[in-house]
Amino acid sequence: MKLEVYINSIGSVSVQKTFDDSGFLDEVVDYEGTSVKAVDPTYRDYIPPAAARRMAKGLKMSAVSSHNALKEAGLDNVDAIIVGTGLGCLGESEKFVRDLLDNDEQYLTPTRFIQSSHNTVAGSIALDMGCKGYNFTYVHSNISFESSLWDAKLQLENNEAENILVGAVDELVEHHVTTHQFIDHIKKEPVSREQVLRSGTKGIVFGEGSHFFVLSNQKQDTTYSRLIAMGIYNTLKKEEVSDTILVFLHTNGLTLEDLDGVILGINGDVDFDTIYQDLANGIFQTIPQFVYKHLSGEYDTASGFGFWMANKIFKTGKVPEVIRWNDIKVSQPKRLLLYNQYRGKNHSLVVLEKC
Amino acid sequence: MNQGVAITGMGLISAIGNNVADNFASLISGTIGISKISRIKTVHEHEIMVGEVPLTNGELEKLLGLPADSHSRTPLLGIMAAKEALAQAEIQDISEYRTGLISGTTVGGMDKSEQYFYDFYERDLHWNHINSLHAGDSTQKIADAIGLTKSFVTTISTACSSAANAIMLGARMIKSGELDRVIVGGSDSLSKFTINGFKTLMILSDTYNTPFDEHRKGLNLGEAAAFLILESDAIVSKENKKVLAYVKGYGNANDAYHQTASSENGDGAVMAMEKALKVAGITPSKVDYINAHGTATPNNDLSEGRALLRVFNENVPEFSSTKPFTGHTLAVAAGVEAVYSVLSIQNNVIYPNLNFKTPMTEFNLVPETQLKNKEIKTVLSNSFGFGGNCSTLIFTKEA
Amino acid sequence: MSSDLKQELKEKIIEQLNLEDVTAAEIADNDPLFGDGLGLDSIDALELIVMLDKDYGIKLADPKEGRKIFESIDTMAAYIRASKA
């Protein structure tokens, strides 16, 4: 008998003021650019100065979002920590490489190298709270977070753990942005928050953020939703996407009619948004459609923002205007499908149900 | 209840051989792969020793029929090993069953990123490598090379226990019925980044590494790729597959002690071994051979040794570290040593812990220093990494 | 009074180790740098070894040597003076 998987708490630091959990996208942060940074909380409120002095941005953001998630769940410790990150604390890796090249491999310091380990966030959180349990880090581009979710789901369903802290984090780094502009993965021309998803140009606006959640097989007062089903596909031909989604729903005993909304990873890259558009005009045509990457920016774990948003929708019962993609209205949605892909690869499907 | 997961194929490329058979021949004949560094130009060339795969990228690309300068080294090594594993498991149609690929890596395409870090700004000649820094990119390139589409493909990076965790996840997914078949392991290439990083931690030896020796001076970095094919019992019986060995137990725990060092008493290592024994449903006395992490750093060998004494109650079975042969291959160390563990079971042999002379003062633990023949039914393999990450795998002859 | 070298070491340590909330005046010459004193750890020790190399041309081969040298500002200054003599 498989146990249920609940999302019991959320924590987020992002381009929006999500670290403050009191509202839900009430004031939207606007921008105009090709990359956009996270809104920083007052890190000193969360991290002792002695600890903060060696912390990369990804670590700091994660200290806040993981702290908020644990606090809301009422936990001091968990049975496992699973983190997804496309590139880890990339800023430190970049500085280490720069130092290495500029100084001909001399006078390099260990801190930057240590923080360059992809698992430094999961390891540091474990160290801070003294969590000796299972500790994994997934680093597979834009399914890093979904791989973490899947792993947690397996453990909770099989009762191998009761509470798992699952996270998603990536940081914005100059070298990464500039070089990816060369190859049109990131937009060359600045674009505004309002325009980005309909920009009609190549590439995306790069963002950053950290999103943590406590997943559990025990429902409690704070519970947001239930994780019903997941799918991950490394590659799909454009024409296979619709059928794959229909088969996925069918395999999990669901139909399109069961969905009160779909959250799409549309990111404003003219070359690859057609995959979403085909769905929006096709199998999802009669379903309310929501978007978020104009609010979060695009990065490997931006889907963590989408996951945060889905849970906020359930908890508040509200659907902010700023996330609506089509005109079909819905109030108090009960079941949402999240679909994401990046550059036509690493497709993920997640179904959440309100609790 | 404690049914193992069948291993039906293996592939491996390391400093002591381009395939599984050559690796085994080197282990048996005592041929090591540690030398002065030749492939990477570094100012530290006289201060370090490494375990390099002798083939150049160009040679690997030629062997694999890939265009020149199309891949970083991590996926090239990975494709070599993955293809060998699929061939041994006699898999012709990769999409016949629900098949996954789970790979561990630390550097991904860092070798190219560091090489062209400034070059990217100067000219567009190497822009094909810009996006290859992603660890996941190397795994996707392996998936492409073996024709794996519409599948569960992911990458784990938990420093030096990555491949152990990839094997663990694969075994769990087969057991839970999420996949029918999964290719698990890892790939990591040497890079200036890694060499200099370990250099800053002052844990690189300037000579041959000597695990569990009182006078050990640190580790030798290595590079390798290793993959195993795990298959469900249903496939094994339907296709009458030859099973090489079973993944019987696995455990991961966190030391939660220090960012890079292991705790004095090896708490995390003890927990990982105890979890693995519990999953396997066996007592410590059933373990016939331990392939230790044994990196030859002062800290690891002391911590691991103490952990072994705690788990095995002073009755530690024969153990050795094979890192004097291969160097420490980081993310893929557990993959290399998984293949060696299976070969140990198949051939009833314990590998020597080379370069050992003087027992450590802290305890009376002496690794096997000579090749030894003994019936091996159960092997325990340890791998520990930065971030306090501790993993143990248990392999058995019988399910 | 702190000597120039000692004052310089305090400032360099604060900078190298990013000790934002500490001022040079707060570090006494004989304060323990590790453990109960300034609270530095083994990674800081490695950072200080790089500092010795970069700023004073002193190379340590074994990180264990650092333990005695980095006991306090006094011991560090004495070691640097002795190495340069």
Please list, in sequence order, all residues whose beta carbon lies within 8 angstroms of the beta carbon of residue A106, skipping any fewer than 6 positions away. B43, C53, C54
Query: pLDDT of A65-90, one tens digit each?
Result: 999 999 999 999 999 999 999 999 99
- Cβ distance B254 to A133 under 8 Å? yes
Q: How many CA atoms are closer than 13 Å to the CA of A45, on its beta-carbon side? A: 10
Residue C53's H or E segment, with its range, is helix C42-56
In the structure, what pLDDT confidence band is assigned to residue C1 with cuts at 50, 70 and 90? very low
C-alpha–C-alpha distance, residues A163 and A112, integer Å: 31
C-alpha–C-alpha distance, residues B198 and B204, integer Å: 6
Q: List subunits contacting chain B, requiring 3 or more Cβ pairs under 8 Å.
A: A, C
C-alpha–C-alpha distance, residues A302 and A292, integer Å: 9
Query: In chain A, which residue ranges form alpha helices assigned H by DSSP?
Result: 49-52, 57-73, 90-102, 110-116, 120-129, 144-157, 174-182, 241-251, 273-280, 293-296, 303-316
Q: Concatenate the DSSP letters of all residues of A316-344 into one string.
A: H----GGGB-SS---SS--EEEEEEEETT
Contact A107 C17 (CB under 8 A): no
Q: Tell me if the pTM is above 0.95.
A: yes
CATH fold of B248-396:
Peroxisomal Thiolase; Chain A, domain 1 (3.40.47)
Average pLDDT value over all residues in chain B: 97
C-alpha–C-alpha distance, residues A148 and B157, integer Å: 12
pLDDT recorded at residue B302? 97
Best C33, C43, C51 residue to mutate vs chain A (most A CBs within 10 Å): C43
The token pair that represents A291 in the structure block: 């978007």
Residue B44: CB atoms within 10 Å: 18
Query: pLDDT of B150-208, one tens digit each?
Result: 999 999 999 999 999 999 999 999 999 999 999 999 999 999 999 999 999 999 999 99
Overall average pLDDT of the A19-40 stretch: 96
- Cβ distance B150 to A233 under 8 Å? yes
Closest chain B residue to A55 measured between Cα atoms?
B259
To the nearest whole percent, how much of chain C has pLDDT over 70?
98
In the structure, what pLDDT confidence band is assigned to residue A50 with cuts at 50, 70 and 90? confident
Contact A119 B158 (CB under 8 A): yes
Query: pLDDT of B196-252, one tens digit each?
Result: 999 999 999 999 999 999 999 999 999 999 999 999 999 999 999 999 999 999 999
Q: Which amino acid is at B239?
A: E
Estimate to the nearest angstrom the gap between the alpha carbon of B291 and the chain centroid.
11
C-alpha–C-alpha distance, residues B320 and C4, integer Å: 53
Please list, in sequence order, all residues whose beta carbon lies within 8 angstroms of the beta carbon of residue A53, skipping any fewer than 6 positions away. C17, C18, C19, C20
Strands B50-51 and B221-222: parallel
Contacts 24+ apart (CB under 8 A), B18-24: B18/B53, B18/B54, B18/B55, B18/B80, B19/B84, B20/B84, B20/B88, B20/B339, B20/B343, B23/B339, B23/B340, B23/B343, B24/B343, B24/B347
C-alpha–C-alpha distance, residues B392 and B382, integer Å: 5
CB-based contact, A110 to chain C, within 8 Å? yes
Please say whether the dihedral angle defined by the alpha carbons of residues C50, C53, C56 and C60, taken in this order, is positive or negative.
positive
CA nearest B212: which of B309, B278, B134? B309
Longest dimension (CA), chain B: 62
C-alpha–C-alpha distance, residues C80 and C57, integer Å: 10
Best C12, C14, C21 residue to mutate vs chain A (most A CBs within 10 Å): C21
CA nearest B57: which of B6, B106, B126? B126
CA nearest B113: which of A173, A183, A93? A93
Contact B202 C49 (CB under 8 A): yes
Residues carrying CATH 3.40.47.10, chain B: 5-238, 248-396
pLDDT recorded at residue A324? 98
C-alpha–C-alpha distance, residues A309 and A224, integer Å: 11
- Cβ distance A217 to A253 under 8 Å? no
User: Which residue has 């890192």 as its token pair?
Assistant: B323
- pLDDT higher than 60, residue B1: no
Residue B323's H or E segment, with its range, is helix B323-326
CATH class of C4-84: mainly alpha
To the nearest whole percent, how much of chain A has pLDDT over 70?
100
- Cβ distance B379 to B345 under 8 Å? yes
Residue among A105, A132, A346 whose CB faces B256 most closely: A132
Helices (H) and strands (E) in chain B, counts: 13, 15
The token pair that represents A267 in the structure block: 């990111």
In angstroms, the first-to-last Cα distance of chain C is 23
Buried/exposed code over B195-222 (b: 16+ C-beta within 10 A; e: otherwise): bbbbbbbbbbbeebbbbbbeebbbbbbb
Q: In terms of CATH architecture, what is B5-238?
A: 3-Layer(aba) Sandwich (3.40)
ipTM of the complex: 0.98
C-alpha–C-alpha distance, residues B220 and B203, integer Å: 9
Query: pLDDT of B238-291, one tens digit each?
Result: 999 999 999 999 999 999 999 889 999 999 999 999 999 999 999 999 999 999
Closest chain A residue to B261 measured between Cα atoms?
A114
- pLDDT higher than 50, residue A36: yes
Q: How many CA atoms are closer than 13 Å to the CA of A124, on its beta-carbon side? A: 27
Question: How distant is the Cα of C3 from the closest Cα of chain B, in angstroms?
Answer: 30
Best C44, C48, C55, C58 residue to mutate vs chain A (most A CBs within 10 Å): C44
Residue A291's H or E segment, with its range, is strand A289-291
To the nearest whole percent, how much of chain A has pLDDT over 90?
97
Tell me the chain C residues in contact with residue A49 when contact means C-beta distances shorter than 8 Å.
20-21
- Cβ distance C31 to C75 under 8 Å? no
Query: pLDDT of A218-261, one tens digit each?
Result: 999 999 999 999 999 999 999 999 999 999 999 999 999 999 99
pLDDT recorded at residue C3? 81
pLDDT recorded at residue C2? 54
C-alpha–C-alpha distance, residues B57 and B68, integer Å: 8
Contact B202 C43 (CB under 8 A): no
Please list, in sequence order, all residues whose beta carbon lies within 8 angstroms of the beta carbon of residue B87, skipping any fewer than 6 positions away. B9, B11
Strand order through the sheet with B34-35: B34-35, B50-51, B221-222
User: Which residue has 């694969």 as its token pair?
Assistant: B170
Helix B192-200 with A90-102: angle, nearest 10 deg: 90
User: Which residue has 């952990």 as its token pair?
Assistant: B307
Which residues of B have a catalytic role annotated?
A: 160, 293, 328
Domain boundaries, chain C: 4-84
C-alpha–C-alpha distance, residues B189 and B110, integer Å: 9
- Cβ distance A107 to B226 under 8 Å? no
Query: pLDDT of B82-102, one tens digit each?
Result: 999 999 999 999 999 999 999
Strands B152-156 and B99-104: parallel
Residue among B136, B150, B152 whose CB faces A236 most closely: B150
Tell me the chain A residues in contact with residue B392 when contact means C-beta distances shorter than 8 Å.
none
Residue B94's H or E segment, with its range, is none
In order of their start, the domains of chain A are 6-216 (3.40.47.10), 230-354 (3.40.47.10)
Average pLDDT value over all residues in chain C: 90
Query: pLDDT of A169-213, one tens digit each?
Result: 999 999 999 999 999 999 999 999 999 999 999 999 999 999 999
CB-based contact, C65 to chain B, within 8 Å? no
Query: pLDDT of B108-156, one tens digit each?
Result: 999 999 999 999 999 999 999 999 999 999 999 999 999 999 999 999 9
Overall average pLDDT of the A310-316 stretch: 98
